[in-house]
Amino acid sequence: MTEKLKNEVRQFYSEQFGSRIFEAYGTTEAAPGLCINTPMHNRPGTVGPFLPGIEWRLENVPGIERGGRLWVRGPNIMLGYILAEEPCQIVEPLGGWYDTGDIVDVDDDGFVTVLGRAKRFAKIAGEMVSLTAVEDLASATWPEALHAALSRPHLHKGEEILLITNQPDAQPAALLAKAREKGISELCVPKVVIFREEVPVLGSGKPDYVTLEKEMGLRS
């Protein structure tokens, strides 16, 4: 799965080139497609409905009210993993079901919205908060900057969210104002905002969370 398509990018291509961008979703283990929007069946903001032949189910995740953890099964799912400790054996998915590790929501028409990776959620005051949603809020507030949201243990709240950004004047108050404007829960507003001139990124342009976590002392 790559990054979610931003509305600004969708609008730019539509206005400048007269082209429509259709989002899709898949994983390497699913060879690689699971969902796709098409010219006849398209819902912006979603990754489209499941491809024919794909079985799916959502597993409830405590603290997440919308959607669940996506499991899939079908003819395009991998045979299994070859692990280093057992190099001559294929470890098959149990019952053919592959755990994508993604939290998704499926509407009544079958269109799928990816809410984020399961490991990219923080538990704040008993509720699960998407770190991707926090980054989306930061991008809506400061669209020209790069942002990365992390979580760390908190004595009273369970976890707290850190926002690392290269926006020089970034303050929580601006995020709170944008959240109220868009009707976003204040749980998505990080109390700790850290400015860095350079936010480490991967070759894909995504934030390098592993490096950031090591630099912040959150990973050994």
What CATH code would you report for 125-215? Answer: 3.30.300.30
Domain locations in the chain? Answer: 7-119, 125-215
| Phi, psi of 104, rounded to the nearest 5 degrees | -130, 165
Number of neighbours of residue 151 by Cβ within 10 angstroms: 21
Please state, in angstroms and rounded to a whole number, the distance separating the CA atoms of residues 215 and 198: 13
Give pLDDT, residue 49. 97
* CATH fold of the domain at 7-119: Luciferase; domain 3 (2.30.38)
- Print burial letters for 182-218: b (CB count within 10 Å at least 16), e (below 16): eebeebbbbeebeeeeebbeeeeeebbbeebbeeeee
For residue 102 the two structure tokens come to 């993604």
Q: Does residue 157 contact residue 150 with C-beta atoms inside 8 Å?
A: no
CA dihedral 161, 166, 167, 168 (to 10 degrees): 110
Give pLDDT, residue 127. 87
pLDDT digits (tens, 9 = 90+) for 64-98: 889 999 999 999 999 999 999 988 999 999 999 99
Q: Which residues of the chain have pLDDT under 50?
A: none
SS3 content of the chain, % helix, strand, coil (to 5): 25, 30, 45
Continuous H helices in the chain: 7-17, 131-141, 172-182, 209-215
Please state, in angstroms and rounded to a whole number, the distance separating the CA atoms of residues 61 and 182: 25
Give pLDDT, residue 155. 85
pLDDT digits (tens, 9 = 90+) for 136-161: 999 999 999 999 999 999 888 889 99
Give pLDDT, residue 2. 60
Please state, in angstroms and rounded to a whole number, the distance separating the CA atoms of residues 5 and 19: 14
- The answer for 38, left when phi > 0, alpha when psi is -120 to 50, beta otherwise, is beta
Q: Does residue 146 contact residue 166 with C-beta atoms inside 8 Å?
A: yes
Give pLDDT, residue 62. 86
Of 112, 115, 101, the closest CA to residue 65 belongs to 115
